[in-house]
Amino acid sequence: MDGIGDVLRDAREARGVDLEEVERATKIRGRYLAALEAEEWDVLPGRAYVRGFLRTYAEFLDLDPGPLTEQLRRELEAERPEEAPLEPVVQPGTLPQGRWRGIGLRLAAALVALAAVAAAIAIWIGDGADDPGGATPAAPPAAEEEPAGDDEEPEPEPEPDEPQRVTVAIEATGTVWVCMVSGGGEPLVDGETLAAGDSRGPFEARRVQMTLGNGQAELTANGEAVEVPDAPDPIGLELVGDGVSELDESERPTCA
């Protein structure tokens, strides 16, 4: 079976085009196209981009991308294992904040009241043992709860409001690879290569994270335009109800 790079190179040469022409047509940088033909997978920014770039390049050459991406998957799995899962953000043993704090304060107040009752019983028993007449002591008075002072028990904190949701839509202004997931990890756009004019959405979630193969896209969040950096390299964005922020390379979703 011919290698992936050989198939791509032969098809390109058969069409009589060079890598510069392919770069202009697909918007994939020339060095990435050369890496695909040389099967230098580590030159590309990540596995998800390898598959996306390969599919776009194959479609430009009028090749069926399915067998090539399947062959790529087998080769990548044979070369190296899948990445280890990320460590949990919240470490075991860390107590959550918010309403649990209020419960803890009320529990502490109950323990203080219980200690006061125990002290009263102990004093009453001690007084009965010192009584020479041996009279049966009267029942101890019921403990009265003392009003909480300013320094004893603060008011429980109110529970946080429901997080604001965000509605996101995307439209490609050129050829762009898109991976978009909700905050829970549900794929909204599952690693697709969109052509100019293609659109996806709107999608609604509390948080939306995305990776774009380049800056050729227009975004809206809650009906407002979101500025997308005009970059030829991958971009990571996170959108929530009150704003948008860029993601580091390690935080970007890959739809792998």
pLDDT at 24: 95
User: Contact at 8 Å (CB) between 61 and 11?
Assistant: yes
Residue 10 has pLDDT above 70, yes or no: yes
What integer pLDDT is reported at residue 70 of this predicted model?
93
CA dist., res. 48 & res. 104, Å (int): 46
pLDDT value at residue 59: 95
Using the structure block, give the residue that is written with the tokens 């935080």.
Answer: 251
Q: How confident is the model at residue 115 (pLDDT cuts 50, 70, 90)?
A: low
**CA pair distance 73, 60, nearest whole angstrom:** 20
pLDDT of 91 reads 42
| Cα dihedral 181→186→192→197 (10° resolution) | -60
Mean pLDDT of the chain: 77
What average pLDDT score do residues 88-117 get?
53
Q: What mean pLDDT is predicted for residues 234-245?
A: 86
Span 233-244, average pLDDT: 86
The answer to whether the CB of 234 falls within 8 A of the CB of 240 is no
Distance (Å, rounded) from C-alpha 89 to C-alpha 247? 16
Tell which wins on pLDDT, 256 or 5: 5
In which element (H, E) is residue 105 found?
Answer: helix 99-129
